Every structure is written in C-alpha cells, then in structure tokens.
C-alpha cells in the first residue's frame, strides 16, 4: 500500500527528493567522519596532541580554526578543495535527476554534484 501510494505521488509530481550524505559518499566524497579525519590530519603535531582524533566534526573544525589564529579562511579552502575535486562516479545522481516526475531535489551536502549533471 505504501509503495503504491509513493508511486502515485511520483506520477503526480508531488515528490521532493531529499538527498543526504550517502549520495556524496557514493560519489567518492568523504562522510562527516571522513572530513573530520582530513581536518585532523592537516593539523600540526602539537595541535593533534590537544584534541582526540575521534572528536566531533564541529569540535575538530573549531580546533582547526583556532590553530589558524581564529581565521576560517584555511578551513574554507580545505573544505572547498575536498568537495571540488572530480567525483568518482555520478551514476546515482544522474539516475535520480533523469526521473522526469521528480522536479525538486534538495540536499544539505557541501558538494555541487547535482548541479554538475
């Protein structure tokens, strides 16, 4: 019953697709924990001694900013570089974007993968 209702709503174009982090991971981009690890590995040794490698992404980003004298510029540049590299594959993004009845796709991801296709 639920599946039939979903298909009916898709046919009526009453569906908004919400794409989460899994879409970015599928394309080869890091998860939140993966991004945290990238930040951690970019910190100098003395700063790494002060924060756990398993701290939250928010805490890691704050430590990263503090280690850069309070400037967000290097954090922004690092994140931008991570998510502007070529994706490994866009198969899922292309498949979803090709469904003519889904006119709206919303994502909170940092990447521009849906915009690329």
Render the burial of 36-75: b for 16+ CB within 10 Å, e for the rest.
Answer: bbbbbeebeeeeeeebeeeeeeeebbebbbebeeeeeeeb
**What is the model's pLDDT at position 40?**
98
**What is the model's pLDDT at position 116?**
86
Which of residues 45 and 111 earns the better pLDDT score? 45
The Cα 78–Cα 67 span in angstroms is 14
Give the Cβ contact number of residue 90 at 10 Å.
18
Render the burial of 106-116: b for 16+ CB within 10 Å, e for the rest.
Answer: ebebbbebbee
**What is the model's pLDDT at position 65?**
97
pLDDT tens readout for residues 76-100: 999 999 999 999 999 999 999 899 9
């Amino acid at each position: 019953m639920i599946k039939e209702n979903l298909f009916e709503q898709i046919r009526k174009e009453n569906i908004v697709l919400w794409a989460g982090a899994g879409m970015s991971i599928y394309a080869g981009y890091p998860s939140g924990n993966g991004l945290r690890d990238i930040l951690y590995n970019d910190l100098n040794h003395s700063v790494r001694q002060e924060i756990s490698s398993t701290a939250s992404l928010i805490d890691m980003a704050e430590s990263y900013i503090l280690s850069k004298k309070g400037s967000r510029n290097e954090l922004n540049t690092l994140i931008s570089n991570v998510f502007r590299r070529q994706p490994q594959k866009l198969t899922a993004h292309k498949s979803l974007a090709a469904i003519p009845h889904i006119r709206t796709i919303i994502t909170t991801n940092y990447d521009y993968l849906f915009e690329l296709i």
